[in-house]
Amino acid sequence: MMIPRFVTAVAALVLLVVACAGPAAEAPSGSQVVAELADYKITVNVPSVKAGSIKIGVRNLGTMEHSFQVIKTDLAPDKLPTDGASAKAKEDGKVGEIASIPAGKSAAVTLDLAPGKYVFICNVAGHYQLGMHTGFTVDAP
């Protein structure tokens, strides 16, 4: 019969796709904040933390290399000034970074963050403008 063959073929295709998928990037253990970088998007597991020493685990779930910068600013995440020549956001107020995170890899940075508003960005040329930014708040202890 045609239907059982079709179901078997679909099941085999699903298993093949799952088997070929690479392992998910793991966040470094002990991270208080986990940021996930996808191609042109950054998400975090919490919107805010208390001031002090903060470990940020960063997972690159994308298909290309990304970077991770932490910038203290009162500007909205999508309103940082940019340099047209380099296609990068200006990093005024930068308090920390991970310069390069290959696709499928993870890294971590520990920063002493004061209360205030921050923006997490990827500053690989053009990535900020394509949406790789998110806001983050550090509250008083």
Q: For residues 126 and 16, which has the higher predicted lDDT (pLDDT)?
A: 126
Q: pLDDT for 56-100, tens place per residue?
A: 999 999 999 999 999 999 999 999 999 989 999 999 999 999 999
Average pLDDT over residues 107-114: 97
| Other Cβ atoms within 10 Å of 71 Cβ, number | 24
Q: pLDDT for 5-57, tens place per residue?
A: 544 444 444 344 333 444 444 444 455 999 999 999 999 999 999 999 999 99
Tokens standing for residue 3: 């239907």
The CATH class of 24-139 is mainly beta
Q: DSSP letters along the chain, please?
A: -HHHHHHHHHHHHHHHHHHHSPPPPPPPTT-SEEEEEETTEEEES-SEEESEEEEEEEEE-SSS-EEEEEEE-SS-TT---EETTTTEE--TTEEEEEEEE-TT-EEEEEEEEPSEEEEEE--STTTTTTT-EEEEEEE--
Residue located via tokens 């290399």: 65
